[in-house]
Amino acid sequence: MASVELQRLTKRYGGVAVVDNVSLVIEHGHLVCLLGPSGCGKTTTLRLIAGFVEPSEGEIRVGDRLVSSPAQTLPPERRNMSMIFQSYALWPHMTVAENIIYGLKLRKLDRATIGKKLEAILASTRLTSLAERYPGELSGGQQQRVALARALIVEPETLLLDEPLSNLDANLREEMRFEVRRLHDTYRYTTVYVTHDQSEAMTTADLIAVMNAGRIEQVGSPEEIYNHPRSEFVARFIGSSNVIKGIGLDAEHVEFSGVPLRCAGEPIRPGASVPVSIRPHDIAISATEPAVHENVVSAIVMRGAFLGGHRDYMVETKDGTQLRVVTSAAERLAEGSTVWLRLPPQRCRALTG
């Protein structure tokens, strides 16, 4: 195994940079998700790593090898990488076993070695009983496991996955997230995983690199990305988050709806317009005015919805800002009533914009 390092990586088509000055280190044995909306550059970044696309600027190194630069690009077949696409690309005329060992046959391994490797990978991917079936006889999840087994059996330095679960239904996709993580923990290949699904990234990744408009906005563990977003884009994209606009008062406070709010997160510049994120379930809402007024804002209930295990409210502060608040199912508040919101300081995250 080897680390993968992207250094100021850029890819332009005409005058448009679809990957724009991306630097990222993926330590060997780690699974890193490139997460972002369609068109953010994540798949192009993966194709640059694979060698299918040449960079306009920057370099890619795998271990101590330079594999991509504007001056030279090592072809995909010489990179010791395996890639799994959205479509599993299984040979329909080959059995599961034949599909899996195809790469080993190309490498001209002897029959005994192939048989031993096949037995091990069938067991770890839970495909032993399906070895003689054809792809057309398998479910989507089973086909995905075959694609994973075929990629893993050749023992690549790097495993690349491009939206591998997007063709599965919701329930199967959820199950396969855990399967991908289980197999990664078993084999510990250096893995780059592209997805637009935040739940997929949170379940599978050691680190998440959130991409937007060709750039990396933030890199961190799933917990760091969720609990400590640094930009407005990350706060809105990862989970549901209210983003309010305040005016900086000092290094820790903004004024919002006539009230000073103490915040964590990025440093606050006095007088500047500062976006602040807070998640709906972190806001405490009450029909009675609290005795302690720090970080407390009054609001009017605009609408409410009972959703079984919880209630979902939209409230509006006196400056016209609307906030979504999630409460327990027992918290009943009438539309049009006045309520008080407590925004815990440690949950108010000042952002970079």
DSSP track, 258-296: TEEEE-EESPPPTTSEEEEEE-GGG-EEESS--S--TTE
Residue 179: pLDDT over 90:
no
**Which domains, ranges and CATH numbers included, belong to the chain?**
4-227 (3.40.50.300), 232-350 (2.40.50.140)
Confidence grade of residue 164 (pLDDT, cut at 50, 70, 90): confident
- Mean of the pLDDT values across residues 142-161? 89
Q: Phi and psi dihedrals of 291, rounded to 5?
A: -75, -35
For 89-137, what is the HEC assignment? CCCCCCCHHHHHHHHHHHCCCCHHHHHHHHHHHHHHCCCHHHCCCCHHH
- Please state the pTM of the whole predicted model: 0.85
- Mean of the pLDDT values across residues 301-325? 96
What's the confidence (pLDDT) of residue 129? Answer: 94
What's the confidence (pLDDT) of residue 193? Answer: 95
What is the sign of the dihedral through the CA atoms of 82, 85, 90 and 91? negative
What's the confidence (pLDDT) of residue 338? Answer: 97
DSSP labels, 303-348: EEEE-SSEEEEEEEETTS-EEEEEEETT----TT-EEEEE--GGG-
What's the confidence (pLDDT) of residue 212? Answer: 97
What tokens does 279 get? 């998640």
The per-type count for the chain, helices as H runs and strands as E runs, is 8, 21
203 versus 353: the higher-pLDDT residue is 203
- Mean of the pLDDT values across residues 67-82? 93
What's the confidence (pLDDT) of residue 86? Answer: 76
Task: Give the CA-trace dihedral at 213, 214, 215, 217, to 10 degrees.
Answer: 40
The amino acid present at 164, given as its one-letter code, is P
Q: How many CB atoms neighbour CB 81 within 10 A? A: 23
- Mean of the pLDDT values across residues 154-164? 90
- Mean of the pLDDT values across residues 90-102? 93
Confidence grade of residue 1 (pLDDT, cut at 50, 70, 90): low
Decide if 349 contacts 264 (C-beta within 8 A).
Answer: yes
What's the confidence (pLDDT) of residue 293? Answer: 87
Confidence grade of residue 260 (pLDDT, cut at 50, 70, 90): very high
Mean pLDDT of all residues in the chain? 93
